[in-house]
Amino acid sequence: MVEEESIRVVRCGGSELNFRRAVFSADSKYIFCVSGDFVKVYSTATEECVHILHGHRNLVTGIQLNPNNHLQLYSCSLDGTIKLWDYIDGILIKTFIVRCKLHALFTVAQAEDSVFVTVNKEKPDIFQLVSVKLPKSSSQEVEAKELSIVLDYINQSPKCIAFGNEGVYVAAVRDFYLSVYFFKKKTTSRRNFYDEKKYTYTCLHWHHDIVMDLAFSVTGSSLLSGGRESVLVEWRDATEKNKEFLPRLGATIEHISVSPAGDLFCTSHSDNKITIIHRNLEASAVIQGLVKDRSIFTGLMIDPRTKALVLNGKPGHLQFYSLQSDKQLYNLDIMQQEYINDYGLIQIELKKAAFGCFGNWLATVEQRQEKETELELQMKLWMYSKKTQGFILNTKIHMPHEDCITALCFCNAEKSEQPTLVTASKDGYFKVWILTDDSDIYKKAVGWTCDFVGSYHKYQATNCCFSEDGSLLAVSFEEIVTLWDSETWELKCTFCQRAGNIRHLCFGRLTCSKYLLGATENGILSCWNLLSCALEWSAKLNVRVMEPDPNSENIAAVSQSSVGSDLFVFKPSEPRPLYIQKGISREEVQWGVFVPRDVPESFTSEAYQWLNRSQFYFLTKSQSLLTFSTKSPEEKLTPTSKQLLAEESLPTTPFYFILGKHRQQQDEKLNEISENELVQLPLTENIPAISELLHTPAHVLPSAVFLCSMFVNSLLLSKETKSAEEIPKDVDMEEEKESENSDEENDFTEKIQETNNTDLGEDIIHQLSKSEEKELRKFRKIDYSWIAVL
Amino acid sequence: MAGYKPVAIQTYPILGEKITQDTLYWNNYKTPVQIKEFGAVSKVDFSPQPPYNYAVTASSRIHIYGRYSQEPIKTFSRFKDTAYCATFRQDGRLLVAGSEDGGVQLFDISGRAPLRQFEGHTKAVHTVDFTADKYHVVSGADDYTVKLWDIPNSKEILTFKEHSDYVRCGCASKLNPDLFITGSYDHTVKMFDARTNKSVLSVEHGQPVESVLLFPSGGLLVSAGGRYVKVWDMLKGGQLLVSLKNHHKTVTCLCLSSSGQRLLSGSLDRKVKVYSTTSYKVVHSFDYAASILSLALAHEDETIVVGMTNGILSVKHRKSEAKKESLPRRRRPAYRTFIKGKNYMKQRDDILINRPTKKHLELYDRDLKHFRISKALDRVLEPTCAIKTPEITVSIIKELNRRGVLANALAGRDEKEISRVLNFLIRNLSQPRFAPVLINAAEIIIDIYLPVIGQSPVVDKKFLLLQGLVEKEIDYQRELLETLGMMDMLFATMRGKEGTPVLENTSDGFPENKKIES
Residue B124 backbone dihedrals phi, psi, to 5 degrees: -55, 135
CA distance B152 to chain A (A): 49
**Is the CB of B278 less than 8 angstroms away from the CB of A441?**
yes
State which H helix or E strand residue B242 sits in. strand B239-244
Instruction: Give the pLDDT score at A696.
Output: 72
Q: Do B76 and B219 fall into the same domain?
A: yes
Q: Do B262 and B386 fall into the same domain?
A: no
Instruction: Give the pLDDT score at A248.
Output: 85
Tell how strand A390-398 and strand A375-385 pair up.
Answer: antiparallel
Contacts of B3 in chain A (CB under 8 A): 248
State which H helix or E strand residue B444 sits in. helix B435-449
Contacts of A368 in chain B (CB under 8 A): 402
CB A475 within 8 A of CB A460: no
Distances (CA, A) of A335 to A228, A368, B1, B5: 20, 12, 17, 10
Q: Count the Cβ atoms, other than its own, within 10 Å of residue A104.
A: 23
Which residues make beta-bridge pairs with A518?
A: A505, A526
**Is the CB of B436 less than 8 angstroms away from the CB of A342?**
no
**Domain-embedded: residue B512:** no
Of B286, B317, B348, the one marking the end of a domain is B317
CB A494 within 8 A of CB A488: no
Q: Count the Cβ atoms, other than its own, within 10 Å of residue B329.
A: 6
Please spell the DSSP secondary structure of A728-760, one letter per residue. HHHHTTGGGTT-----HHHHHHHHHHHHHHHHH
Name which residue leads in pLDDT, A702 or B498: A702
Is A345 at the interface with chain B, CB within 8 A?
yes
Q: Which of residues 271-290 of A touch B (CB under 8 A)?
A: 275, 283
Q: Do B302 and B369 fall into the same domain?
A: no
Looking at the structure of chain B, the number of domains it has is 2
Is A700 at the interface with chain B, CB within 8 A?
no
Instruction: Give the pLDDT score at B499.
Output: 47
A249 vs B1, B6, B283: nearest CB: B1
**Is the CB of A441 less than 8 angstroms away from the CB of B283?**
yes
Instruction: Measure the CA–CA gap between B514 and B466, rounded to whole angstroms.
Output: 9
Q: Do B138 and B226 fall into the same domain?
A: yes
Q: Do B231 and B288 fall into the same domain?
A: yes
Q: Do B75 and B204 fall into the same domain?
A: yes
Q: Which of B1, B284, B497, B512 to mutate to test the interface with A (most CBs of A within 10 A)?
A: B1
CB A567 within 8 A of CB A598: no
**Domain-embedded: residue B352:** no
A374 vs B10, B368, B440: nearest CB: B440
A336 vs B8, B278, B504: nearest CB: B8
B511 vs A275, A283, A373: nearest CB: A373
Q: Do B305 and B369 fall into the same domain?
A: no
Instruction: Give the pLDDT score at B128.
Output: 93
Q: Do B45 and B176 fall into the same domain?
A: yes
Is B359 at the interface with chain A, CB within 8 A?
no
CA distance B469 to chain A (A): 21
- What are the pLDDT digits (tens) for B130-168? 999 989 999 999 999 999 999 998 889 989 999 999 999
CB B138 within 8 A of CB B147: yes
**Is the CB of A458 less than 8 angstroms away from the CB of B500?**
yes
Q: Which of B4, B5, B18, B396 to mutate to test the interface with A (most CBs of A within 10 A)?
A: B5
**Is the CB of A402 less than 8 angstroms away from the CB of B281?**
no
The alpha helices in A647-703, defined as continuous H runs, are 654-655, 661-681, 688-695
Distances (CA, A) of A601 to A390, A568, A604, A613: 31, 20, 9, 7
**Is the CB of B1 less than 8 angstroms away from the CB of A247?**
yes
- What are the pLDDT digits (tens) for B161-220? 999 999 999 999 988 888 999 999 999 999 999 898 888 999 999 999 999 999 988 889
- What are the pLDDT digits (tens) for A696-742? 777 777 777 777 777 777 666 444 444 444 444 444 444 444 444 44
Is B351 at the interface with chain A, CB within 8 A?
no
- Hey, is A763 helix, strand or coil? helix
**Domain-embedded: residue B44:** yes
**Domain-embedded: residue B506:** no
The distance in angstroms from the start CA to the end CA of chain A is 46
Q: Which of residues 397-456 of A touch B (CB under 8 A)?
A: 398, 402, 429, 440-442, 453-455
Q: Count the Cβ atoms, other than its own, within 10 Å of residue B414.
A: 9
Distances (CA, A) of B168 to A212, B40, B144, B430, B474: 90, 16, 9, 57, 62
CA distance B21 to chain A (A): 8
Domain residues for the domain of B306 are 21-317
Q: Do B182 and B71 fall into the same domain?
A: yes
Q: Is the pLDDT of residue B75 over 80?
A: yes
Contacts of B404 in chain A (CB under 8 A): 340, 342, 344-346
Of B257, B286, B317, the one marking the end of a domain is B317
CA distance A517 to chain B (A): 26
Longest dimension (CA), chain B: 99
**Domain-embedded: residue B355:** no
Q: Do B285 and B422 fall into the same domain?
A: no
A338 vs B5, B18, B21: nearest CB: B5
Q: Which of residues 403-442 of B touch A (CB under 8 A)?
A: 403-404, 436, 440
- What are the pLDDT digits (tens) for B371-418? 899 999 999 999 888 888 888 999 999 999 888 889 999 988 888 889
CB A82 within 8 A of CB A105: yes
Residue of A nearest to B281 (CA): A441
The alpha helices in A292-372, defined as continuous H runs, are none
- Hey, is A117 helix, strand or coil? strand
Contacts of A373 in chain B (CB under 8 A): 509, 511
Tell how strand B125-130 and strand A420-425 pair up.
Answer: unpaired
Contacts of A347 in chain B (CB under 8 A): 402
Instruction: Measure the CA–CA gap between A725 and A671, rounded to whole angstroms.
Output: 14
Q: Do B300 and B381 fall into the same domain?
A: no
A·B CB contacts under 8 A: 63
CB A172 within 8 A of CB A159: no
Q: What is the CATH number of the domain that holds B287?
A: 2.130.10.10
Residue B73 backbone dihedrals phi, psi, to 5 degrees: -90, -15
**Domain-embedded: residue B517:** no
- What are the pLDDT digits (tens) for B320-377? 876 666 666 777 777 777 777 777 777 777 777 777 777 888 899 999 988 899 999 9
Residue of B nearest to A430 (CA): B502
Of B290, B317, B344, the one marking the end of a domain is B317
Residues in chain A with pLDDT < 50?
Answer: 1-4, 633-650, 673-685, 717-765, 788
Instruction: Measure the CA–CA gap between A59 and A102, rounded to whole angstroms.
Output: 10
**Domain-embedded: residue B233:** yes
B404 vs A345, A348, A457: nearest CB: A345
Q: Which of residues 159-218 of A touch B (CB under 8 A)?
A: none
Burial class of residue B344, CB neighbours in 10 A (0-12, 13-18, 19+): exposed
Q: Do B303 and B374 fall into the same domain?
A: no
Contacts of A457 in chain B (CB under 8 A): 500
**Domain-embedded: residue B3:** no
pTM above 0.80, yes or no: no
